[in-house]
């Protein structure tokens, strides 16, 4: 059964193709940090898995090889036709590229290209005009859970003032949900700040040190700095308007603006 030219087990092709693409990716990514190498390693593993699936041995057939050998005696597991697994399971004969499932998959792929082409213009114009893409073909998927959920969040934010929505329980919920990312980002940022310089400003310049955090998020950076430098004048502003607040050691009033309250030269 299916004793045609082997389409799998071509391990030299796996090595050559994976190597070429990995070297190509390395030539322009040039990983430097540990995070870069982790990302590059993940991408390289994806390429190895991809070409192993294409030319080595498909994982599904590998897992089912014992069962397929017992149910379909004489099956050639490395043949191209066996790679069309549904063709084998359904007992269809003839060219596997002409079976109903293969034709349906081609139609769906072609429909996906049409959907992408229709959405591309809408997305481009929305990005150019700095607005949400909710027209054209994107309007027809508004009922999907992710989209409708996003609209519900937007409606909630419109009802609630910016300062109120991104404070209190909302900010705590965000910090809890993204705590690993926040902690790592905070650690990387703090490592670039010389706390001793901030602490010496009062003595050297006779004024309190002043910090402006642009794109502050929930303000975890300035919360940390306020703990490390008593007397710090700390202002954090989110350029998107998501959070705009002022935190000082002497009061907790808020600034309802998305621009710096001071000339940049004074920061």
18/125: higher pLDDT: 18
- In 10 A of CB 150, how many CB atoms? 13
Q: What is the pLDDT of residue 149?
A: 44
User: Is there a contact between 28 and 21 (Cβ–Cβ < 8 Å)?
Assistant: no
Confidence tier at 138 by pLDDT (50, 70, 90): confident
| Range 240-243, long-range pairs (CB < 8 A, 24+ positions) | 240/215, 241/162, 242/162, 242/166, 242/217, 243/162, 243/163, 243/166, 243/167, 243/171, 243/216, 243/217, 243/218, 243/219
Q: How far apart are CA 124 and CA 105, in angstroms?
A: 28
Q: Are 247 and 236 spatial neighbours (Cβ–Cβ below 8 Å)?
A: yes
Q: How far apart are the first and last CA of the chain?
A: 77
Average pLDDT rounded to a whole number, residues 171-178:
75
Domain boundaries, the chain: 11-94, 104-159, 174-266
pLDDT beyond 50 at 205:
yes
The 3-state DSSP class for residue 57 equals: coil
Nearest to 165 by CA among 251, 243, 237: 243
Per-residue pLDDT reduced to its tens digit, 96-131: 888 888 899 999 999 999 989 988 888 888 888 877
Burial 33-48 (b: 16+ CB within 10 A, else e): eeeeeeebeebbeebb
Residue 124 sits at φ, ψ, to 5 deg, of: -65, -45
Identify which of 32, 29, 59, 64 has the alpha carbon closest to the alpha carbon of residue 44.
29
CA distance 210 to 226: 11
Q: When comparing pLDDT for 242 and 132, which is higher?
A: 132
Output the pLDDT for position 215: 72
Residue with tokens 């082997």: 6
How many Cβ atoms are within 10 Å of 75's Cβ, its own excluded?
19
Do 198 and 232 contact (CB within 8 A), yes or no? yes
Which range, of 113-122, 137-146, 152-161, 201-210, averages the lowest pLDDT?
A: 152-161
Question: Mean of the per-residue pLDDT values for the chain?
Answer: 77
Task: Give φ, ψ of 210 to 5 degrees.
Answer: -125, 130
- Please give the model's pTM, rounded to 2 decimal places: 0.45
Q: Mean pLDDT over residues 202-221, rounded?
A: 78
* pLDDT at residue 174, as a whole number: 72
The whole-number pLDDT of residue 261 equals 59
**Considering only CA atoms, which of 140, 104, 137 is closest in space to residue 122?**
137
Q: What is the DSSP letter of 25?
A: H
Query: For residue 192, what is the DSSP state?
Result: T
- Report the pLDDT averaged over residues 48-60: 91
CB distance 153 to 174 below 8 Å = no
> Percentage of the chain surpassing pLDDT 90?
18
């Amino acid at each position: 059964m299916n004793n045609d030219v082997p389409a799998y087990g071509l391990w030299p092709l796996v090595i050559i193709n994976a190597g070429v693409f990995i070297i190509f990716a390395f030539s322009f990514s040039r990983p430097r940090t540990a995070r870069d190498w982790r990302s590059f390693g993940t991408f390289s593993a994806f390429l190895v898995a991809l070409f192993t699936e294409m030319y080595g041995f498909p994982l599904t057939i590998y897992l089912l090889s014992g069962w397929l050998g017992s149910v379909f005696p004489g099956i050639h597991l490395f043949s191209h036709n066996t790679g069309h697994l549904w063709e084998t399971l359904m007992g269809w004969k003839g060219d596997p590229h002409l079976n109903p499932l293969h034709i349906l998959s081609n139609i769906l792929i072609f429909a996906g290209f049409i959907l992408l082409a229709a959405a591309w213009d809408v997305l481009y114009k929305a990005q150019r005009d700095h607005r949400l893409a909710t027209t054209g073909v994107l309007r027809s998927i508004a009922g999907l859970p992710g989209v409708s959920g996003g609209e519900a969040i937007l409606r909630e934010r419109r009802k609630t003032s910016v300062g109120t929505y991104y404070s209190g329980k909302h900010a705590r919920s965000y910090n809890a949900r993204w705590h690993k990312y926040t902690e790592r980002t905070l650690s990387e940022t703090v490592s670039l700040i010389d706390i001793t310089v901030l602490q010496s400003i009062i003595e050297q310049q006779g004024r309190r040190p002043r910090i402006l955090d642009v794109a502050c998020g929930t303000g975890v950076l300035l919360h940390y700095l306020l703990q490390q430098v008593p007397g710090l004048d700390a202002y954090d502003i989110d350029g998107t308007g998501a959070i705009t607040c002022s935190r000082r050691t002497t009061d907790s009033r808020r600034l309802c603006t998305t621009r710096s309250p001071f000339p940049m030269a004074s920061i």
